[in-house]
Amino acid sequence: MNLQPVSTPTVPPWLLSRLRDLGYTLLGLSLLLSVWWLGGYLIANEPTTQAFAGFAPSAALPEAWRLIVTGVLLDSALPSLERIFFGLLWAALVAVPVGILVGVSSVLRQITGFSFQLLRMVSPLAWMPVAVLAFSTWDGAIIFLIFMAAVWPILFSTAFAVQRIDPVYFKVARNLGASPWANLKRLVLPAITPDILAGLRLSLGVAWIVLVPAEYLGVTSGLGYAINDARDILAYDMLAALVLLIGVIGYTLDAILVALIRHFGWQRGA
């Protein structure tokens, strides 16, 4: 009787990679929760800080679930997401064309280089008095602050991406009789789309940070307003829950942009 070795099924490498990434993620979350729990334990057992015991995960996590299931989170998040959307939209509408022009023209780069770098280094929140004076509504002022936070990463990413396009491609396009519009549509935009999205991702991170203090202005809606309100009524469990949920929403938005960057990057490399 011939005995043949039994072949054991092998785990695909991509599955091993996914499982390893998931394990690292769960380990990181466990460490974060452990530090959070330890901090909450120390706060709750210190007489001078017992009033802030609501920051502990034992109080904040159930409150976060309550905010989700009751729709309170959705009511607070929708106005904030709308402001983020319009702020990023206006930033992209301004930054992409200007970035393309700056990337194409070396003269324009020299003219605008110092001015743009100077404006980029100004904190977006420093524009708050200007925003309040320039706009008749609080929403308009907040969108302007988000715009000032978001415009520079998109502009510089676009300009650098245009500069990296091989000049030979433009020569070939000219020899084939391509018009400037055809160059823009068929050559420039497909080449720089992943970089625009990368700049948009950076802009989202900055804008999401600016959003909460910007919503401390006279609005009566949004995540920043909800945090300010929770602080005023000393609802520290709600405050901690909102901070956690803001992080979750921001991470989700970032993950969407990462997926788009990978998609367009794969298309460009195909």
Distance CA 238, CA 256 (A): 27
**pLDDT for position 269:** 47
Distance CA 218, CA 210 (A): 15
State the residue for tokens 């018009």: 179
DSSP string covering 132-189: HHH-SSHHHHHHHHHHHHHHHHHHHHHHHHHHTS-HHHHHHHHHTT--HHHIIIIIIH
From 87, 173, 72, select the one nearest 124 (Cα to Cα). Answer: 87
Which pair of structure tokens corresponds to residue 20?
């390893």
Those residues with Cβ within 8 angstroms of residue 149's Cβ, 6 or more apart along the chain or in another chain: 87, 124, 203, 206, 207, 209, 210
pLDDT in tens for each of the 270 residues of the chain? 555 555 555 767 777 778 887 888 888 888 988 888 888 878 877 777 777 777 888 888 888 899 999 988 999 999 999 999 999 999 999 999 999 999 888 888 888 888 999 999 988 888 888 888 888 888 899 999 999 999 999 999 999 988 888 777 777 777 777 777 777 777 788 888 888 988 999 999 999 989 988 888 778 888 888 998 888 888 888 998 999 999 999 999 999 988 888 877 654 544
Ramachandran angles phi, psi of 235, nearest 5°? -90, 80
State the residue for tokens 């409150």: 63
